[in-house]
Amino acid sequence: MTLVLGADDVRRLLPEVDAIAAVEAVHADLGSGAMVQPAPVTLGGTDDALFLPMAVRSDRLGFAAVKLMADIPANVGTALPSQRSTILVSSVSTGECIAVIDGAGITRVRTAAASAVATRHLARPDSRVLGLVGAGNLAIEHVRAISAVRPIEQVVVWSRSSSTVERFREQLAEAGDGATDVAVVVAEDPHDVVERTDVLCTLTPSVEPIVRGAWLHRGQHVNAVGARPRPTHRELDATAMARGTLVVDSAATARAKSGDLVLAIAEGALRTNARLVELGEVVAGLASGRASEDEITVFDSVGLAAQDLAVAAAVIQLAQRHGVGETVHLSAAASSLAPVP
C-alpha cells in the first residue's frame, strides 16, 4: 500500500516534526560519508521552465526518495505558484513505493531548518537580531527556525512590496507561538537590513545581487537561501561570497545550480578548484565552523533531496500513527507479476 499525502495533510502534520533535528542528522550523515547526495539533473526545454529530479538514498532511514521540483517563472504574477514539487519515497529493502507527498510544505520547513542548522554551527552564540531580505513564504519559517537556535529578540525585514511585509507581520502575529514573539522593524532597503543584523537571511528570487559584500560587518552570519536553482541567478555579489568563511550544503549541487557560487567563480572572486566546505562536515566535526567572533560566515543554501527525505520520513511516520492521508494499491501483487524477459 502507498500513502498519499496532499498539501493539507502535510500542513496538519508538520508542526509535530522536529525538522531542525532531522535535517541536522542527515547533514551529519552526509559529512561522515554514511549518505551520498548526487547533484540533480536539470531538465530544460524550449521555454524558461526547469524540472529537477532530486534523488537520494538513506540506509539509516530505510528510504530512497526522488523529489521532482518544477521551477516555472512564467507563473509569477498569476494565481499559480512558480515552484511546485512532489516527493516519491520508496523502501530500500523491498523497493515498494511507501508514499507520494506534496512537497511545498516540506520544502519550506526543511529550507528554514537547514538555515537554522547552519546558524547553530556558524553564527555567534550571542546573535540577537535577525535580518530578512524578503518577506514571502519562507520568512516566517525562518523566524521560527532561527529563533530555536539563537536568542532572537528583534527581526529586521525588507521587501520590495509593502503589502508582502504587512502580510508577513500579520502572519507572525497570528502564529501565536513563543518562537515568533519578537519585535519587528521594517527596514528602508537591503543595506539597512544588513547593517542592523547579526544573522542575515536572503529570501528573494533575485537574479542580480541584492546584498553586497562591502555591506557585511564583522561577526555576521549570512544564509543565502532564495535564488532560484539556476547558475545565472544570485542574491549575493562575488565579494560577499568571498569575504568570509564559505560553507555550502553540497559541493556538487552548489557547483551545478548555485548562481551565487558559479558567478563568484566566473568573476574571479573564488578559485575554480577551491575545495568547498560542506555543512555536513561541520556538523560531523570534520571541518571547523566559526573560528573567531569577528569572522564573517556565509552559508550558500541550494536545497537537497536529503533534507526533503529527512522531513518526509518524519511526516510519513506521523501520518501512519494518526491515520492521516489516503492509501492506494499502486503496484500489482507480487504473485501477479510476470518475469521480465
Per-residue model confidence (pLDDT) at position 334 = 54
Q: Which three three-digit cell numbers place residue 291?
A: 573560528
Tens-place pLDDT, residues 285-330 = 999 989 999 999 999 999 999 999 999 999 999 999 999 999 999 8
Chain centre to alpha carbon of residue 109: 8
Tell me, what's the pLDDT at 340?
56
Kindly give the residue spans of alpha helices, DSSP state H, lying in 87-224: 104-122, 137-147, 162-175, 190-196
According to DSSP, residue 332 is labeled: -
On whether the CB atoms of residues 242 and 269 are closer than 8 A, the answer is yes
Tell me the three state secondary structure of residue 305. Answer: helix
The gap from C-alpha 292 to its chain's centroid, in whole angstroms, comes to 26
The predicted pLDDT at position 179 comes to: 72
Global pTM value:
0.94
206-232 pLDDT, tens digit per residue, is: 999 999 999 999 999 999 999 999 999
Q: How far apart are CA 93 and CA 87, in angstroms?
A: 19
- pLDDT score, position 5: 98
What is the four-CA torsion angle of 63, 83, 112, 276, rounded to 10 degrees?
Answer: 80
pLDDT value, residue 341: 56
Nearest to 71 by CA among 253, 226, 251, 238: 226
Give the span between the Cα atoms of 49 and 82, in whole angstroms: 9
pLDDT digits (tens, 9 = 90+) for 46-104: 999 999 999 999 999 999 999 999 999 999 889 899 999 999 999 999 999 999 999 99
- As beta bridge partners, residue 130 has 155, 199
C-alpha cell at 327: 492509501
In this prediction, residues 156-177 reach a mean pLDDT of: 91
- To the nearest whole number, what is the mean pLDDT of the chain? 94
- The one-character DSSP state at 15 is G
Using only C-alpha atoms, the chain has a radius of gyration, in whole angstroms, of 20
For residues 129 and 152, the answer to whether their CB atoms sit within 8 Å is yes
* pLDDT at residue 64, as a whole number: 97
